[in-house]
Chain A
């Protein structure tokens, strides 16, 4: 892949790199315990090990105060952004995309196979999840979290509770709905609303959904860009219904005492699995495996579930999860969830490009 990359871009990066390297050389001294190079992690906003050390307990406890020297975390707000960043040459050791994008990383040669024997607690992850991270007979991704996409509703503000994806188009919510600024996700939600199969859309169906997503605009207040903005829009009361919101937005608002409901749409939850891969250029493997083992540790995963009410890939974490949240969101019943929700299916490169173009056309439409 490297050879084919656009030469001038490479040249430019090298030149700027040469200019900048002068500035960083000699900055900071290495402690005895810290590794030579920090572990570069490309992570979703709201998951950073530096902010949430409890999600990676054995790792963050071991390095303690040194954590900021051991890891270097960059964040992203959606999968397209992360993939684009890695594809354009950001050399991350650890990457955290969601399952529909995993195949794209493997095809583009951006991740390396994982030796699962080096992962403590690997066997505690159910096989059905493990298999999702397997490509060409090799494990490329370690499933970590699974989530729903549903409707986050301010119960105190809506005239009437929405019950389905289709209700997003209901004029009674005019000016108070917020969709995620994400073509893949919004098309899936629209397909659910109009009774289509989100993973096998024909060109006519794409066109129909595109019209529907243009038609919904009078109902929208704005598109939300990331987790923080979704929370902010709901908390301020500007958005009564935040579409495609994850459990963590719900838990964050409920913890703050907002009157919010996490509505399971009649057509069903959309759901997905995310997980960690190791960048193909990474040589920091000891630290990478140490980090991954800490991530799938059952106590780490339970801490994560309890904070955000997400599902944990480590089945053994179930016993440590707050029973109320687990009951409410069926976090401890993976089989049921797999059978009764629409899990995101792998994207192809063509589909990704088409979704990106269609989504831009929708947003640019008058």
Chain B
């Protein structure tokens, strides 16, 4: 094969010449053709909507006369309204808790798959992903079978006599939101951690053992630091979508499980107050993105993002 190729390739040493002759398209246009699908996608589905959101947040109303009047009143309303702020912090708190719990549950699974599953790694991966094929809604509502007032947990507790009456608030509460979200995100967190664990060279373990490290020392001083890029990726995968989550709190949050996403949804879908909804979305983005930028900058300086000198 390779000799065949070699003989067919014209002996031109200039790289540009080869490319041009193979495709007949100048290199510059090749590049444009390659990046245009992604940039069009980004433009229409990210930049344009984001610009719309920013513009919306500065007008008085989305409809009628007020749609041409510029104002800062929505930002003022956000800063003055303690309810919006409280919900925002609450959502960040819930998201942080969900993320930490997800990571705690995911790490052992990823660790097991990477080092102990042997031949069955692929099978385990498939099993892990299968629940993600069912509808998001179904996976949320499935918890009702466990947490509902006639659910498994209540039946079990009543069966062993700990409680006489079923506990009814379980399915409609903030803990239910957290449990459901952790369950949903686990596959998304396991995968990046698993990949980062797999990339660790096997001879590092031997080297560590040779130098007299005990297994737990090997873990904390060798494996864990090398898996940090995966943990960071998993953190972002889980944390960012959870802050703006609104479906799960609407379904299982009960009267007190509201998150900021629900208010934003309400402002757009029922309240007709699009500018306020846009302002809330932007404030949420700002509060999430700024610390993330800072921390990712820090991570890069500490060499935690991977892809460096492995």
Contact = CB atoms under 8 A, between A and B. Distances in A.
A164 B256 CA distance: 25
B269 A81 contact: yes
Interface in B223-275: 250, 253-256, 258, 262-263, 266, 268-274
Contacts of A236: 148-150
Interface in A41-99: 78, 80-81, 83-85, 87-88
A238 B168 contact: yes
Interface stretch (B50-58, B114-122, B178-186): B50-58
A356 B48 contact: no
B67 A6 contact: yes
A80 B255 contact: no
A15 interface: yes
A222 B87 contact: no
Given A19-B44, A78-B270, A6 B63 contact: yes
A9 B250 CA distance: 27
Of B56, B84, B172, B273, most A-chain CB atoms within 10 Å: B172
Contacts of B270: 78, 80-81, 84, 356
B303 interface: no
Interface in A289-333: none
B88 to A, nearest CB: 10
A89 to B, nearest CB: 9
A236 B150 CA distance: 8
A36 interface: no
A365 B108 CA distance: 38
Contact of B87 (A5, A12, A364): A364
A12 B64 CA distance: 18
A137 interface: no
A76 to B, nearest CB: 10
A167 to B, nearest CB: 18
B49 A12 contact: yes
Interface in B59-74: 59, 62-65, 67-68
Contacts of B262: 363
A238 B254 CA distance: 12
B296 to A, nearest CB: 30
Interface string A195-212: 000000000000000000
Contacts of A81: 269-270
A9 B51 CA distance: 10
A255 B87 CA distance: 41
A308 B144 CA distance: 28
B44 A365 contact: no
Contacts of B188: none
Interface string B148-184: 1110000000000000000011011000000000000
Give the interface SS of chain A, mostly helix, strand, loop or mixed. helix
B67 A221 contact: no
Contacts of B255: 217, 220-223, 363
B1 to A, nearest CB: 42
Contacts of A19: 44
Interface in A1-39: 1, 4-6, 8-9, 12, 15-16, 19
A259 interface: no
A346 interface: no
B86 interface: yes
User: Which secondary structure dominates where chain B touches chain A?
Assistant: helix
A265 interface: no
B38 interface: no
Contacts of A6: 55-56, 59, 62-63, 67, 274
Contacts of A15: 44, 48
B101 to A, nearest CB: 23
B165 to A, nearest CB: 11
Interface in A164-223: 175-176, 217, 220-223
Contacts of B130: none
B33 interface: no
B32 interface: no
Contacts of B64: 1, 4, 108
Contacts of B67: 4-6
A225 interface: yes
Given A5-B63, A225-B250, A360 B83 contact: yes
Interface string A348-366: 0000110011001101111
Contacts of B56: 6, 8-9
A19 B273 CA distance: 27
Contact of B83 (A12, A87, A220, A365): A365
Nearest to B77: A357
B262 to A, nearest CB: 8
Interface string A145-176: 00000000000000000000000000000011
Contact of A87 (B171, B254, B272): B272
Nearest to B56: A6
Contact of A356 (B59, B68, B258, B273): B273
Nearest to B256: A217
A38 to B, nearest CB: 24
Contacts of B266: 356, 360
Nearest to B84: A364
Residue of A78, A221, A366 most packed against chain B (CB within 10 A): A221
B55 A87 contact: no
A84 B65 CA distance: 17
Contact of A360 (B168, B254, B263, B268): B263
Contacts of B253: 222
Contact of B258 (A1, A9, A221, A363): A363
A20 B86 CA distance: 40
Contacts of A360: 83, 263, 266, 271
20 contacts: A6-B55, A8-B51, A15-B44, A80-B270, A81-B270, A87-B63, A88-B274, A108-B63, A217-B255, A220-B255, A221-B172, A222-B172, A236-B150, A238-B149, A238-B168, A356-B272, A360-B83, A360-B263, A363-B255, A364-B84
Closest 4 CB pairs of A and B: A80-B270, A222-B172, A220-B255, A356-B271
